[in-house]
Amino acid sequence: MNYPHPLLAREGWPFIALAVTVAATVHFYWGWSAALFFWVVVAFMIQFFRDPPRHIAMDEGLVLSPADGRVISIERTQDPYLDRPALKISVFMNVFNAHSNRSPVDGQVKQTWYFPGRFFNASLPKASLQNERAVLWIQKKDGTDVTCVQVAGLVARRILCYAKTGDDLTRGQRFGFIRFGSRVDIYLPLTAVVCAVVGDKVYATESILARFA
């Protein structure tokens, strides 16, 4: 298990603290009924920024889900970042999913990119190339390339990616966070064997999206 993080993501601490402060202030001066809505906001913030520990599959040939959510697309397409034919798997995160992002494979970050963009609903196909996004090119020891893309959504306004060129990532290692609804796209070699199907509910590091032949 790879989990050097608090149960509530640090990215959410300011939001949770602000929500608690407002709710407590309203509760103190105007009572429970007036503060009920604000306590609901506190509960939402806590569930959104939860960052639970996860068990990590040990097989090096697996491609693990980089995020909690639902598989919304599996298709053969062109990887626009490495300019190669690829299998693309997309995982959509709604506001009720944990939003911590984790590496799907072991490997070295060969390059990163950031693209400012629009904020269409992340479940739409055009979001992959038109929304704000951060990209990791991860290369496994055997030379296999995996492209992992954080894509902002309709409500999301902040992509946080901590991995940098030259970093070594292990499966399940936390590399980023996206606030308030988004998606993650993974581009794999055509030789990869897909294990998920569209509609699957998946969990970061615990769900297997594909395996290398």
| Judgement on whether residues 108 and 191 belong to the same structural domain of the protein | yes
Q: How far is CA 198 from CA 4, 68, 133, 154, 201, in A?
A: 31, 14, 22, 21, 9
Q: What is the pLDDT of residue 1?
A: 46
| Judgement on whether residues 41 and 71 belong to the same structural domain of the protein | no
Asked whether the CA dihedral 139, 140, 145, 147 is positive or negative, the reply is: negative
Active-site residue flag, 33? no
Q: What is the DSSP letter of 97?
A: S
Q: What is the pLDDT of residue 157?
A: 60
| Judgement on whether residues 156 and 198 belong to the same structural domain of the protein | yes
Question: Is 5 within the bounds of a domain?
Answer: no
| Judgement on whether residues 87 and 153 belong to the same structural domain of the protein | yes
Q: What is the pLDDT of residue 54?
A: 83
Q: What is the pLDDT of residue 101?
A: 93
> What is the pLDDT tens value at each position of the chain, 213 positions in all?
455 667 888 888 999 999 999 999 999 999 999 999 999 999 998 988 888 888 887 788 999 999 999 999 999 999 999 999 999 999 999 888 888 899 999 999 999 999 887 767 667 777 777 888 999 999 999 999 999 999 987 765 678 899 999 999 999 999 998 877 688 999 999 999 999 999 999 999 999 999 997
Coil vs helix vs strand at 71: strand
CATH, residue 119:
2.70.70
For 141, the domain range is 62-212
Question: Is 56 within the bounds of a domain?
Answer: no
| Judgement on whether residues 36 and 80 belong to the same structural domain of the protein | no
Q: What is the pLDDT of residue 5?
A: 64
3-state helix, strand, coil in the chain (%, to 5): 20, 40, 40
Please tell me the distance from the alpha carbon of residue 165 to that of residue 137, in angstroms, as a whole number: 9
Kindly report the backbone phi and psi dihedral angles of residue 202, in degrees, each rounded to the nearest multiple of 5, phi listed first.
-125, 160
Question: Is 54 within the bounds of a domain?
Answer: no
| Judgement on whether residues 22 and 94 belong to the same structural domain of the protein | no
| Judgement on whether residues 130 and 102 belong to the same structural domain of the protein | yes
90, 100, 128, 182: which one is catalytic? 182
Please tell me the distance from the alpha carbon of residue 88 to that of residue 79, in angstroms, as a whole number: 8
Q: What is the pLDDT of residue 113?
A: 96
